Structure 1
Amino acid sequence: MIVNGKEQTLTESVTVSAFLETAGYNSKRVVVERNRIIIPQSEFESTWLLDSDTLEIVHFVGGG
């Protein structure tokens, strides 16, 4: 699987939600694009990732 341009290997099937948690992302503050399609946050727990997927994860950072 490619995540933000870097290759990663999935050792087991995981949902988007589980992957984000393991990778240290706050799922409420990210946008996930899987194979060029944005996944709604409401589908993070029901969308399973494949080793052939390409993900782009964008997280929001507040500032001022």
Structure 2
Amino acid sequence: MKIMINGTETEVREGTLATILEELGYGDAKVATAVNEAFVPASARDVALSPGDRVEIVAPRQGG
């Protein structure tokens, strides 16, 4: 199915946000996520995604 990830159309297998994060290589990474502009905490990533959904994945950065 096709969804938007960080503004880029991406083909992924159907599934939940958690399974798609795993598919994209973010399995154990500490990231913030949003689906269709709504924040999704790590404890609620079992939400099913649909074609056309917009997913944002943001990794924390260190700096000063």
TM-score by length of 1: 0.79
Deviation at 1:9, TM superposition (A): 2.5
Structure 1: unaligned runs, 5 residues or longer: none
Deviation at 1:51, TM superposition (A): 1.1
- The alignment covers a number of residue pairs equal to 62
> Counterparts of 1:1-64 in structure 2 under 5 Å?
1-10=3-12, 12-44=13-45, 46-62=46-62
Structure 2: unaligned runs, 5 residues or longer: none
TM-score by length of 2: 0.79
* Contact 1:4/1:57, CA 8 A, preserved across alignment: yes
Structure with a larger share of its residues in helix:
1
Cα RMSD (Å) of the superposition?
A: 1.8
